[in-house]
Amino acid sequence: MIPVHAAGEHDGLLYIAMRYVEGPDLRRLLDDRGALAPPTAALVVAQVASALQAAHARGLVHRDVKPGNILLTDLSDAPHVYLTDFGIARPEAATAGLTSVGEWVGTPDFAAPEQVEGRQPGSAADIYSLGCVLFAALTGRPPFERDGQLAKAWAHVHDDPQPLRAVRDDVPPPFEEVVRRALAAPGAPVRLRA
């Protein structure tokens, strides 16, 4: 996770002072260079899984795991990764959210079905989103390509993703199993090891 050095208010404005990370986020890297090599994608996702494991151990659910919230320190085959933007994170046991009834937060390309349906997301929602990130890292696109936000949200709840190897056939079969398990039954307690 990105280290936060200080937070507060100055002249009526809230601020956060955190580590400066030289390098792009994963979204920009995918836009600029396309899909990652499988070993690099595995390294990136394993580091994010480690950050999520630490957050979940403290009872926090990130709720917006996506390539734009994953910062890379360099562009080598072994980048160091930071998960950032815990702005909408909530305690897993929280009953009240940051939104009104019928609203949800997150990014439609990477939102877990329980978020779309307005249910309280648990740690499994972050794992689902991380599975979507792995799919995107390996293919250069999210698992559900649809026109419009509503169609994307609908797909997460009602559609099966296209098999990973149907999009990129040179990905080793174990990657497809990891993505399949992460995107399986909404809310199923699937754990990924870092």
CATH of the domain at 94: 1.10.510.10
Residue 161 is assigned to a structural domain of this protein: yes
Residue 107 is assigned to a structural domain of this protein: yes
Give the whole-number percent of the chain exceeding pLDDT 90. Answer: 38
Residue 13 is assigned to a structural domain of this protein: no
Tens of pLDDT along 116-125? 887 777 788 8
Report pTM. 0.81
Tens of pLDDT along 136-194? 999 999 999 888 888 888 888 888 888 999 999 999 999 999 999 998 854 444 444 43
Q: Which entry of 25, 64, 109, 126 is annotated as an active-site residue? A: 64
Annotation marks residue 64 as catalytic:
yes
Residue 35 is assigned to a structural domain of this protein: yes
Give how many domains the chain has, as a whole number: 1
Residue 39 is assigned to a structural domain of this protein: yes
Q: 62: closest CA among 117, 134, 112?
A: 112
Residue 1 has pLDDT above 90, yes or no: no
CA angle 61, 62, 66 (to 5 degrees): 145
Residue 95 is assigned to a structural domain of this protein: yes
Residue 119 is assigned to a structural domain of this protein: yes
Residue 45 has pLDDT above 90, yes or no: yes
Give the residue numbers spanning the domain of 145.
Answer: 21-182
pLDDT of the residue at 168 = 95
Q: Contact at 8 Å (CB) between 13 and 94?
A: no
Span 11-23, average pLDDT: 79
Residue 115 is assigned to a structural domain of this protein: yes
